[in-house]
Structure formats: structure tokens, C-alpha cells
Amino acid sequence: MATKAFSLADGKLAGCGVGQTDFVNTATTTGTAPDGTVVTDVSVDGSDPDGTDGDNNPDEESGTPVSIAPNPGLGLAKRNVKTELLPDGSANVTFEFNLENFGNVNLNNLTLTDDLAATFLPLVQ
């Protein structure tokens, strides 16, 4: 038996399907004999292509489960979009906030707090 290990894009699963950490997947192999006969098989979960029955027939097919550990991550960026000086000496300041889920699970109960008073007091009205 010849065995060759393959990796998928250097082992990195892009995105990992945010909100999903459990997957089931099958692979397909195909080969062509010298007489042109094409043979193919769909994978069976485990390390033996013959499955567990030992009958020299690889007709078993089953998905291989993959579980990726939950890895929550959240990022926040804030920028000053515009600052307008008003005739009365006050200012209107417009901020933009961008939140990004950097993890592989959904996040609930998101909150965003910007304590303007901590920075601009006593300017905040």
C-alpha cells in the first residue's frame, strides 16, 4: 500500500465558516490503468481504504468528522470621520466604528462603549 499525505492549502482552512466548528467531509480519488480503465473511490472514515470488513472491496463510504476548537475573537477600530467647528465655538465630531469577528464562532450580545466624557469633559454636553 502506498500512502501519500496531502494538506489543504498548507493546512489552513480559510474562514473556517464563522459560526461553524463541526464539519464532515469526504474525498474522492481517481486513477487510470494502462488500458485506459478509470477507477475511482470515495473515502471511508479511518485509515484503511477497505473499511473494517477486510473484503478487499473499498465500497465503503463515510464522512470524516472534523471539529475545530471554538476560538472567539473580536476587533474594533474607531476613526474620526469629521470634526466641524461651529460658530458658537463648539464642535460636532463624527466617529466611525468598525467591528470585525476574528474568531470562528458567532458572537452575541455585542456592546460598544465610548466614554466621551472621560476624554472631552467638560466639553461634552
Please report whether residue 48 would count as binding Ca ion according to CB under 5 A.
Answer: no
**Of all residues in this chain, which one has the CB nearest to Ca ion in the complex?**
51
Look-up: residue for cell 473556517? 16
Q: Does 28 bind Ca ion (CB under 5 A)?
A: no
Q: Does 63 bind Ca ion (CB under 5 A)?
A: no
Rounded-to-integer distance, Cα 81 and Cα 93, Å: 8
Residue 2's alpha-carbon distances to 22, 36, 52, in angstroms, are 30, 21, 19
- Give the ranges where the chain is alpha helix by DSSP (H): 116-120
Q: Can you tell me which of 16, 21, 23, 41 binds Ca ion, judged by CB under 5 A?
A: 41
User: Which one of residues 40, 57, 67, 119 is an interface residue with Ca ion (CB under 5 A)?
Assistant: 57
Chain residues that interact with Ca ion, rule: CB under 5 A: 41, 44, 50-51, 53, 55, 57-58, 61
